[in-house]
Amino acid sequence: MRYYLTTPIYYVNSSPHIGHAYTTAIGDMLVRHQRQRGAETFFLTGVDEHATKVWRVAEEQGLEPQEYADRIAVPWRELPRRLNADIDFFIRTSDEGHKRFVREFLQQIYDNGDVYQDVYAGLYCVGCEAFKTEDELTPDGLCPDHLVPPEWIEEKNWFFRLSAYQDRLLALYDERPEFVRPDFRYNEARSFIAGGLRDFSISRAGQPWGIPLPWDESQVAYVWADALVNYVSALTYARPGEDLRERYWPAVHLLAKDILRFHCVYWPAMLLSAGYEPPRQLFVHGYLLLDDRKISKSLGNVVEPLELIDVYGSDAVRYWMARAISFGQDGSASIDGIRERYENELANDLGNLLSRTTAMVAQYRSGSLRRGDAEPPLDFEALAADVAERLDRFDVTGALDAIWDGVRGLNQYVTAEAPWQLAKDEANAARLDGVLYNLVDGLTALAVALAAFLPETAPLILAALNQPGDLAWERVRNGAAEEVDGIAAAKPLFPRIELPTPA
Ligand code: MSP
């Protein structure tokens, strides 16, 4: 079983914000989970450098575009690291390996007869890096996403014969009803294709920043014709001397709705033209909105994700992202929500459960865990199956909700069984052992189930319970905990936080 997941590669015209962190963090949860189930995984993220808007920002700052890109690549590379996203490669489209491969790939499309020269005249939104038709604009002629007027561009370009792929794309969609998820995004993409496809320009004449076309060095590749190819190019040079294409292609692509057409329509057609299999699947998620506004560089309400991580830690930020809005849908979240979830859910529900459990084993059983005699309160095999099935269909929020029901279920079990009462009478010894075992066992199963979401916390829980650190998914079951000695009262998992004073 192999699982290759990609995030979009982000534009480097400014620094990362929480919207980018969102896709990367959730992608990491999906990949880590598949790895726990035994899949051989590859997780790719990176940056998209050859955009007109990147070139313009560099000019504004008086820098050569490459120099600008090298500087801003630093915080972008830091983003997955700070999120504790376990990526296998970080791609930059200015990598020599990528540039070489893009030329090869576009040459294949050219050789296949799918490229021709024509004059294009139209409205271009630099924010979207896309041409716009009149009916895609607001009544006063602005780009609805960026609220700026598009620019008139007229140049002789090279075009990709997208129109020739309409039938093949429709056939692909019909054969594979799960090709694009969720369903309403599949329908959106399919009806866009069914509505008729226009060829699109794959080159730019007036821009020196980009990858020169192999058959016409006077033009550079249009940023999307360059960027999409990263999903394949990375596999050719991520591991020196190895070609990973055989092993990992086709990929699962994670992206938000803003770039649906490029991924669900243009990209599969480009792949077919260049002789590749189309992607394995695409999941198109919604926007994470803060206080009902889209987080966007252009709208100026950016929240610095790295700052949230500095205060709450990466696990808390990941947890908040997965739970605050239903993954797939648009949703509005408040930053205060992080604090509430940190205190009520992570510190109280989970952290206290571990503290109480370990303290009771230490106090009543001198740290020794024995199986004893008590029915387990929850069915962890059922939970394992439910969570796996949800994550297979990208229901990240539902999966975490289900695990959290388990956390709450164990808390109710503590209250219902009142081990402190059982401990008063030696006649209850076997039952007390059994209840304590069920708590440790339940926490073991939950820690393994949570490991994809809370990669820092899960090993701490297992260590506090003196259980092996193995995260194999089979361990999400009843009875996996080993009888051990030496369990001591655990330190708080999520200590109280001093908030920085508001500016
Ligand atoms: N460079 C292109 C993608 C090329 S992929 C071959 C691009 N870059 S971007 O920097 O604009 O990133 C867009 C992506 O960032 C979205 O598709 C989504 O994954 C993520 N998000 C940006 N803002 C977001 C939210 N507010 N909410 C959720 N995801 C967000 O487009």
pLDDT at 307: 81
Q: How far apart are CA 189 and CA 170, in angstroms?
A: 10
For residue 407, report the distance from its CA to the centre of ligand 1, in Å. Answer: 33
Q: Which residues contact residue 124 at a Cβ distance below 8 angstroms, ignoring those fewer than 6 apart?
A: 130, 131, 132, 150, 151, 152, 153
Cis before 177 (ω within 30): no
Query: Sorting pLDDT into bands at 50, 70 and 90, what band is 501?
Result: low
Q: Is 17 a catalytic residue?
A: yes
Q: How far apart are CA 191 and CA 187, in angstroms?
A: 6
Catalytic choice (17, 33, 50, 99)? 17
Kindly give the number of the ligand 1 atom that is closest to the alpha carbon of 227. Answer: 6
Average pLDDT, the chain: 95
Strand-pair category, 293-294 with 331-333: unpaired
Rounded (10°) CA dihedral 406, 408, 413, 419:
120
DSSP SS3 for 268: helix
Contact 347, 312 (CB under 8 A): no
Query: Sorting pLDDT into bands at 50, 70 and 90, what band is 334?
Result: confident
Kindly give the number of the ligand 1 atom that is closest to the alpha carbon of 294. Answer: 26
Least confident range of 204-208, 467-471, 478-482: 204-208
Q: Is the pLDDT of residue 362 over 70?
A: yes
Contact 215, 110 (CB under 8 A): yes
Tokens 């480009």 — which residue?
A: 270
Mean pLDDT computed over 454-479: 98
- E strand or H helix at 444: helix 429-450
Mean pLDDT computed over 360-377: 98
pLDDT at 310: 87
Q: How far apart are CA 127 and CA 14, in angstroms?
A: 12
pLDDT at 305: 66
Mean pLDDT computed over 325-337: 89
Catalytic choice (99, 128, 132, 263)? 128
Kindly give the number of the ligand 1 atom that is closest to the alpha carbon of 47. Answer: 1
Neighbours of 73 (CB within 10 A): 17
Plot region of 267 (φ>0 → left; ψ -120 to 50 → alpha; else → beta): alpha
Share of the chain above pLDDT 70, in %: 96
3-state helix, strand, coil in the chain (%, to 5): 50, 15, 35
Q: Which residues line ligand 1 (CB under 6 A)?
A: 8-11, 19-20, 22-23, 48, 227-228, 230, 255-256, 258-259, 287-288, 294-295
Buried b / exposed e across 109-133, counting CB within 10 Å, b at 16+? bbeeebbeeeebeebbbbbbbbbbe
For residue 99, report the distance from its CA to the centre of ligand 1, in Å. Answer: 22
pLDDT at 300: 59
Residue with CA closest to ligand 1 atom 7: 10
pLDDT at 290: 81
Mean pLDDT computed over 412-440: 98
DSSP SS3 for 289: strand
Kindly give the number of the ligand 1 atom that is closest to the alpha carbon of 51. Answer: 1
Residue with CA closest to ligand 1 atom 25: 19
Query: Sorting pLDDT into bands at 50, 70 and 90, what band is 498?
Result: confident
Q: Is the pLDDT of residue 301 over 80?
A: no
| pLDDT tens string 263-292 | 999 999 999 999 999 999 999 999 998 875
For residue 286, report the distance from its CA to the centre of ligand 1, in Å. Answer: 10
CA atoms within 13 A on the CB side of 6: 27
For residue 130, report the distance from its CA to the centre of ligand 1, in Å. Answer: 14
Q: Which parts of 275-428 fold into alpha helices (H)?
A: 305-312, 314-324, 336-340, 353-365, 380-392, 396-417, 419-422
Residue with CA closest to ligand 1 atom 5: 8
pLDDT at 497: 86
DSSP SS3 for 267: helix
Residue among 15, 20, 261, 285 to mutate when testing ligand 1 (max atoms within 8 A of CB): 20
Tokens 């999409």 — which residue?
A: 228
Q: Is 98 a catalytic residue?
A: no
Query: Sorting pLDDT into bands at 50, 70 and 90, what band is 66?
Result: very high
Q: Is the pLDDT of residue 200 over 90?
A: yes
Q: Which residues contact residue 402 at a Cβ distance below 8 angstroms, ignoring those fewer than 6 apart?
A: 383, 386, 387, 390
Catalytic choice (50, 98, 99, 125)? 125
Q: Is 297 a catalytic residue?
A: yes
| pLDDT tens string 134-174 | 889 999 999 998 899 999 989 999 999 999 999 999 999 99
Q: Which residues contact residue 380 at a Cβ distance below 8 angstroms, ignoring those fewer than 6 apart?
A: 406, 442, 445, 476, 477, 478
Q: Is 20 a catalytic residue?
A: yes
Query: Sorting pLDDT into bands at 50, 70 and 90, what band is 244?
Result: very high
Q: Is the pLDDT of residue 118 over 70?
A: yes
**C-alpha to C-alpha distances, 197 to 190, 335, 415, nearest whole angstrom:** 11, 41, 62
Least confident range of 144-158, 207-221, 423-437: 144-158
Q: Which residues contact residue 450 at a Cβ distance below 8 angstroms, ignoring those fewer than 6 apart?
A: 403, 457, 458, 461
Quick one: angle between helices 457-464 and 429-450, nearest 10?
Answer: 160
Share of the chain above pLDDT 90, in %: 86
Least confident range of 291-305, 414-428, 478-492: 291-305
Task: State which amino acid sits at residue 296.
Answer: S
